[in-house]
Amino acid sequence: MKGKRVLIINRGEIAIRVAKALNELGLVSVGVWTDNETEPPHLEYCQEWVHLAGSDNKDTYLNIPKIMAIIEKYKIDGVHPGYGFLSENKEFSEILAKNGITFIGPNPTAVYKMGAKDISKQIAKEAGVPVVPGSTGEVETIEEAIRIGNEIGYPILLKAVAGGGGKGMRPCQNEKEVRENFAAVQREALSSFGYGALLVEKYILNPHHIEVQILADKKGNIFHLFERECSIQRRHQKIIEEAPSPFIGNDEKVRLDICETAVKCAKAVNYDSAGTVEFIMGEDKKFYFLEMNTRIQVEHPITEEVTGVDLVANMIKAAFGEPLDFKTQDEIHLNGHAIELRICAEDPISMLPAPGKIVGFETTFPQGIRFDHCIYPKYTITPDFDPMIGKLIAKGFNREVALRKIRNAVHGLVIDGIKTNIALHKVILDEETFKKGKYSTSYIGTIKPQEKVAPKENIEAFMLKVAAIELNQMSGRS
């Protein structure tokens, strides 16, 4: 495996993370730069740089023919797709396989079967994995959606078959809302994924989003690395994750059950890489299969922190047919608690993207803090990519210690020149429901921590007033 040339067809912090793992394993890391990001920070960690011409994602990171030309020209042995872009594209993984190029991800069949929500749901059901009640396949008409809603009971969720990232999803409380939303969800699905088909599912009230990390090799061995709680979300997209789940807590029976169920699901498609099986868990701790992400996840660092397993390095080793760092499930243990905050270039109140130029960047972190990021002073955040610019991770002996560390860490992170969600994280970390670990996916909508974020202008005015008072006091003493 050593000396093989691996193309990282991604950018940002995940490209940095992959490059570090490749370099550690003795492989040659090859990064790309595009016309709308000519000095990307990940190139500093790559051993070679390649120009991926174009200024639009469709013409660069999603352009399979152009990527294949680079692979041939630069004698690439393997490709790591990171997450997003082509990471779960069956066509791309198949073309690589036909050309003898190693795709650092699962086999094309697994990508296809778990990439389509209707197919993955049926596979899970056949494997004995509990699924959310709803349609068994695509729902083509409003009348069919209403019929299913009447059978399983409202509320229901209209959901894009090819969806992801919280797009193409809308809850409906009754028949009237189904009629109002059906066409709108179809349009969003078609616009976002190029495929407008929908599913209908029972909408679980106050659910928890629990996911299980999977790691498998090419020899049929499949392991779990325990669970993560990902219930703090806005627009169905995660912003805070924890490992292990505070909701499952010390209920080892539920923990073992959901983890073994995830392995069962992965075995049903002969999985052979890193991946995540996602579940929705009700207040009664009954859980249902949601989907499987056939790639490395944004929140993989917290699993690495509590298990000591390098997921990215082992994913690379598995792809090239190398043995993993462990041989049995009994070698993998939970140790402590980890929390991750997604740092995004977005308004902390509206939670909408806020691109711009970073003019100041400082960190004063407590001991043991991990910050996976792609930023530096004078770096411009463009609207072309996801607004996430970094991931702040803290591990503690237990959740109380992890909370203390992450709270101190976020207060020690300063990013000037752009709006970020740092202020929102500070509010959430001090909020009682979150501190007690009693939150669900409805947290942002019901607790509304964003309404407690003071506008930056008010903070600056307050600090100026304090400075003026202190200056007057000093003048009075002189």
Convert the pLDDT of each residue in 442-451 to its tens digit.
Answer: 999 999 999 9
Q: Active site includes 179?
A: no
Do 70 and 156 lie in one domain? The reply is no
185 and 66 within one domain: no
**pLDDT class of 165 with cuts at 50, 70, 90:** low
Looking at the fold, whether 237 and 186 belong to one and the same domain comes out as no
Choosing from 177, 202, 227, the residue where a domain stops is 202
Q: Are 311 and 212 in a shared domain?
A: yes
Q: Which of 40-54, 184-198, 253-267 has the lowest mean pLDDT?
A: 184-198
Residue 194 has what pLDDT?
80
Q: Which domain holds residue 320?
A: 208-457
pLDDT tens per residue across span 384-429: 899 999 999 999 999 999 999 999 999 999 999 999 999 999 999 9
Catalytic residue among 295, 342, 399, 407: 295
Instruction: Give dist(CA 84, CA 62) in Å, integer.
Output: 10
Instruction: Indicate if 290 and 331 belong to the same structural domain.
Output: yes
Percent of the chain with pLDDT over 90: 85
463 domain-assigned: no
Same domain flag for 212 and 63: no
Mean model confidence pLDDT for the chain: 93
Q: Examine the domain organization and report whether 262 and 372 are in the same domain.
A: yes
- Answer with the residue of higher pLDDT: 19 or 136: 19
pLDDT of residue 1: 85
Domain shared by 351 and 418, yes or no: yes
Same domain, 30 and 150: no
Task: Report the pLDDT averaged over residues 246-261.
Answer: 98
94: tokens are 């198949």
